[in-house]
Structure 1
């Protein structure tokens, strides 16, 4: 092969390599893709009241996280497109590009931050240890050793239960966990404190109680989950969240679901 042919061949291979990389590089800019599509795809459960659930009267998707997602999308100048899935598959769906972000009370933890990016926190809560009212044996998280706790597998709440020696019984969400607890099929559930408050507001006679709370950062603050390396999208979402707090939209949404403005807890 002559030197000229070798040069032509090398140039052709280099051109093919550049062409093959171009789509991947373009697809990696999620914010640009969202602007072009005119919509942001949001992964959420749809079974996690009061954050993401369907109204009984008309089956419409609603909830605190859903309304925050719609409000953020409006600030971004795009439509919100919700794609529902089970908790255990939500993050995998982000990896597979089923959606652009996940808004579903995803706790900000060092473990997740190593693989994903988060917006600034949009809500602060705590992990609550919930038991039946007649249970006086479990008084704190250390008492979970050898007990059965109903939790969504892979959630931070499940990990907390396991760290304290509990056997985790898999459920799809808060309501399923409390149902098993009330039926005495489990001894406890470690779950979101705000979800507990909403549940007690809806069912004040339910014989369950909170015996301990954990305000660690992995439970206390949730953010909008993004793929790693999406700085332009993260910046746009953070600005949108700031705007929602500044114009009072966040306050209205928060009071609708929790009876108070939770923005102060984000400071």
Structure 2
């Protein structure tokens, strides 16, 4: 599971020397006020019912991808559209590769990012702000439905788990005393569990829910879920200095949580409510 996270712009105004000194001072004051308000252009567009520009991959199902008709959709995309509707603004998505997301925010190609961003590192937390989370994820253990050995994480001791050797989930499984069966990725891990060559596999909750929704007859189920303290929330990410915008995003997101929109979208894309910590 990819894990994601996110920057802004400097505006400069060039005035002709033919303008009077009073005009120059007025322009300088305006520039200073704009900088001090931190993202006032974005705030004004939101207040005036304008357009917000949102960066996303478009190649990362079920979060952001193109359906069979070619329409851009996905959980993050539809949540963003719902937020825009609550704010009374239009939204324009700008698709870009993940590696270019930060640069896109830096250069103000877009105002914010909707692409499963958690801001888990201190460096990114210092540079970016995040709205109220619209999805929560954490480690889960996936095993055959009829296997009842998973009453607690401590029960993983001595069991075989199919994991990539470079995966954080493999390290977590080893911490609980599980024996690692090396695999290349999640697809192979699931096959080994189904073939009884491994007892279980650990991965991100959202990735596993996506699999279970696509393969409801897999005879596998989530046995253990990370506690809330070990879960991370993803939200809309934008550069620091847009406090009033973040407040408006939070208000819209809270309204979508209250009216059931986030739950409805979660169940549409994951078959479960991922918008709340559990």
Match of 2:66 in 1: 54
Q: Pick from 202, 212, 220: which aligns with 2:214?
A: 202
| Closer, same or farther: CA 61–228 of 1 in aligned 2, 3 Å | same
1:83 to 80, 83, 94: 94
* Match for residue 120 of structure 1 among 132, 143, 156: 132
Alignment length, in residue pairs?
A: 226
Residue 63 of structure 1: aligned partner? 74
Q: Please give the residue correspondences for 1:215-226 in structure 2 after superposition, counting only pairs within 5 Å.
A: 220-226=232-238
Structure-2-length-normalised TM-score = 0.63
Structure 1 residues 138 and 87: alpha-carbon distance in aligned structure 2, compared to 1, 3 A threshold: farther
Coordinate RMSD, CA, aligned: 4.3
- Contact map agreement 1:103 1:224 (CA 8 A) in 2: yes
Determine whether 1:96 maps to 2:107.
yes
Change (3 A) 1:210 1:177: farther
**Structure 1 segments unaligned to the other structure (5+ residues):** 1-10, 131-135, 150-159, 165-175, 184-188
Structure 2, unpaired ranges of 5+: 1-20, 143-157, 173-183, 192-200
Task: Identify, as 1 or 2, the structure richer in helix.
Answer: 1
More moved, 231-240 vs 27-36: 27-36
How far, CA to CA, are the matches of 2:101 and 2:229 in structure 1? Answer: 21
Counterparts of 1:94 and 1:242, CA distance in 2 = 25
CA distance in 1, matches of 2:34, 2:255: 33
Deviation at 1:66, TM superposition (A): 0.6
SS of 1:234's equivalent?
Answer: helix
1:198 Cα deviation from its structure 2 partner: 0.9
TM-score, normalising length: structure 1? 0.65
Report how far residue 120 of structure 1 moved.
1.5
1:112-138 deviations in Å (ceiling 9; x for gaps): 2221111111111114689xxxxx997
Q: CA deviation at 1:180?
A: 8.6
